[in-house]
Each structure stands twice: as structure tokens, then as C-alpha cells.
Amino acid sequence: MDRVLFLCTGNSARSQMAEAFLRKYGGDRFEVHSAGLEPKGMNPFTLRVMQEVGLGLEGQTSKGIDIYLGKLLFQHLITVCDDAEKKCPSTWPGITRREHWSFEDPAAFEGPDEEKLARFRIIRDQIEARVRQWLTLEH
């Protein structure tokens, strides 16, 4: 079973969503994890928009890459934000495939809560589509 790590800056939104969608659609074909370069805790809007599509994030927590580096081998590393792609270690033992999926940071959006929620929904749907495409094309 391949291990997949989704990496972003805060591990509060995008990487958490990607982890949940790959668990849903990838079944038992993958062991899925997510982490952040500077973990910030789970964003409440992330929890809300994922619950809207029937995915609770029980068991998922915001964590740093240090819990994995040198301790667990991953076959796939997928960065889901431009900042993480720039700052991610260039070599990572065990990685056979490294990809970058650029998604806007919904947590950076400034505005009323309803507009923030709408932004989170857009990013959620983009991530779901990308995970499904990744599974169809390559796995």
C-alpha cells in the first residue's frame, strides 16, 4: 500500500481536505496523511464545508512535518500550496513521486463569514475534483 502525504503551510484547510477526499475515493489503496510546514490548527470553516459533503474530519489533526521526517516513508508527496512547494525539503527519503497542486488559500480570504465560507466551498470542490482526477489518470 502506497503512503501519500499532502503538504501545505498551515495544515488547516487544503491538505486536510485532500487527505479526507483521498481516504474517501482511494479506499484501502493508500495510507493517507497530511502535514504543514507551520501547523496552525484546523480551520473551523474547513470542518464546516467538509461536513456539508458528508465528510467529518474526526481523527485528523493539524500537525507538522517533523512527526514524519525520518520516521515514515512516503511514496507520494503532494504539495497543495505554492508556499509549501517553495519551502518543502527538496529531498525526502522514500519519495518516488512528488507533485504540486496549486490551490488558493481560502483562509487568507478577507471578508464576511458567508463570503469566506463560499471561498472554502470553491477550494473544497477544486480539491475533490483534483483528487478524483489523480486517481483516474494515475492510480
Average pLDDT over residues 68-93: 79
Residue 88 in this model has a pLDDT that exceeds 70: no
Looking at the annotation, which residues are catalytic? Answer: 8, 81, 88
Residue 124 in this model has a pLDDT that exceeds 70: yes
Note the pLDDT tens digit of each residue in 6-53: 999 899 999 999 999 999 999 889 999 999 988 999 999 999 999 999
Residue 91 in this model has a pLDDT that exceeds 70: no
Task: Return the higher-pLDDT residue of 1 and 26.
Answer: 26
Residue 83 in this model has a pLDDT that exceeds 80: no
User: What are the DSSP calls for the chain, one per residue?
Assistant: -EEEEEEESSSSSHHHHHHHHHHHHHGGGEEEEEEESS-----HHHHHHHHHTT---TT----BGGGTTTTS--SEEEE-SHHHHHHS-S--TT-SEEEE-----GGG--S-HHHHHHHHHHHHHHHHHHHHHHHHHH-
Residue 87 in this model has a pLDDT that exceeds 80: no
Q: Could you list the residue range(s) of the whole structural domain that residue 50 is in?
A: 2-138
pLDDT averaged over the chain?
Answer: 90
Q: How many structural domains comprise the chain?
A: 1
Q: Is the pTM of this model over 0.85?
A: yes
The CATH number linked to 33 is: 3.40.50.2300
